[in-house]
Chain A
Amino acid sequence: MTGTQSSRAARDQDSSATGYEHLTPMFAEMAELPEDDPRRAELRNKLVTGHLPLAEHIAARFSNRGVPREDLVQVATLGLINAVDRFQPDRGTDFLSFAVPTVMGEVRRHFRDASWSMHVPRRLKELNLAINAASAELSQRLGRAPTPSELGRHLDLTPEQVYEGLEAGNAYHSMSLDEALSPDADSDPLGDTLGQQDEALAGVENYESLRPLIESLPERERQILTLRFFRHMTQTQIADRIGISQMHVSRLLTRTLENLRQGLLADPDGK
């Protein structure tokens, strides 16, 4: 357990802020062991488990952005394991300054890549992003959602390319409905819309079982449902109002209706 003297000052500084200081000596210890020493695995385990709160902390900073929290913790933990494996204590930096960017990079990459189903090539993701952006711009200009041929002219793409890009959007991983919306993104308090919704729902036969299902929806999903089916706004108008893309509205609505149907099936007599 030597080799940490040089970073003593840094360590002291860390210990006041982080509580991971008791782990630091293990890196040097591990680095000195031969590759095949069984104690390496043991130390590696201790280092990973000991730093887990760090991964959870970073995951928490990225939560409420439409990716389920457990997924983020998992990705951050993978990032942490990578960091533990690649950290070289003799380089003079402390582990945290090395690990934090590594883990954050891993989580960012997850947002960029893994929210898509695995098979969508990068070209299509980029195409889909370009179409999303063009769609928002054209909607503003036209006062309605654009057609594929309008998108094609705007982006200088063939119809087939536009179709491909639009279809790629459907492969985007549907987000968990349980994922709560970050509070600051909610621009339209629902208090007053709920009353109206109740009135409109009153004529619906399974009102009694439907109502609690709608009320238990996350705020954003309930808001989108209300705006589309009780206020008759288009998906593009809703997207504009809430500040997400039309494709995202579409995905959330699909998911919400699916869940309502399942909920109603589970309770067919509307007790």
Chain B
Amino acid sequence: MFEGTEDGSPEEIELRIGAVLTNLPIIRSLAASIAMRADFDLDSIADLRLAVDEACSTLITQGAPDAALTCAFRVSVDEIRFVVTVPSTSDAKPSSDSFGWRVLTTLTDHTATWVDGPDDPNSQADTHLVHIELAKRRTEGLPG
């Protein structure tokens, strides 16, 4: 089990994968595996798994064709932070009035979304980067 790296700094894990719904099982297995090895309780493991699933499927439906999803996990002593990013032709943020958003906020301790404009304003690609960030804190009163 890991709780950060040896020097106490957070452990970072990144996955780059095609933004298609059929890849969801891979991403949620990774999320569950990370939470399990960080010794989160079974409810928190299941919640993170569901939340990651929800966040990724939201971005997958918003991603540009043939886009790749970047999933970054950051495991520290007291929380797991997850940021998923997809390039999109639209600068629209995922709606915070949707049922999916309610799912995310119920399952995690922190939820945020933002959009970065194109790196180069003159770029032909006109690609925006849409992000969703989640954090799940270790349940209080747990040893470790």
Contact = CB atoms under 8 A, between A and B. Distances in A.
B53 A254 contact: yes
Interface string B102-119: 110010000000000000
Contacts of A147: 39-42, 142, 144
Interface in B34-90: 36-37, 39-47, 49-50, 53-54, 57, 61
B37 A163 contact: yes
Contacts of B32: 166-167, 170
B139 interface: yes
Interface of A: 135, 144-149, 159, 163, 166-167, 170, 201, 203-206, 210, 228-229, 232, 234-236, 246, 249-250, 253-254, 257-258, 260-261, 264-265
Interface stretch (B5-13, B91-99, B120-128, B129-137): B91-99
Given A147-B42, A203-B97, A204-B97, 9 more contacts: A144-B139, A147-B40, A149-B39, A149-B144, A163-B37, A204-B98, A250-B50, A261-B54, A261-B100
B99 A206 contact: yes
Q: Is the interface of A mostly helix, strand, loop or mixed?
A: helix
A201 B98 CA distance: 9
B46 A235 contact: yes
Nearest to B61: A265
A229 B103 contact: yes
Given A147-B142, A206-B98, A246 B42 contact: yes
A247 B36 CA distance: 14
Contacts of B102: 204, 229
Q: Per DSSP, are chain B's interface residues mostly helix, strand or loop, or mixed?
A: helix
B98 A144 contact: no
B29 interface: yes
A264 B44 contact: no
Given A170-B29, A204-B98, A205-B97, A261 B39 contact: no
Contacts of A260: 99
A257 B49 contact: no
A236 B50 contact: no
26 contacts: A135-B42, A144-B41, A144-B139, A147-B39, A147-B144, A148-B36, A148-B37, A148-B39, A148-B42, A149-B144, A159-B1, A159-B37, A163-B37, A166-B32, A166-B36, A167-B36, A203-B97, A204-B97, A205-B95, A249-B46, A250-B50, A254-B53, A257-B50, A261-B57, A264-B99, A265-B61
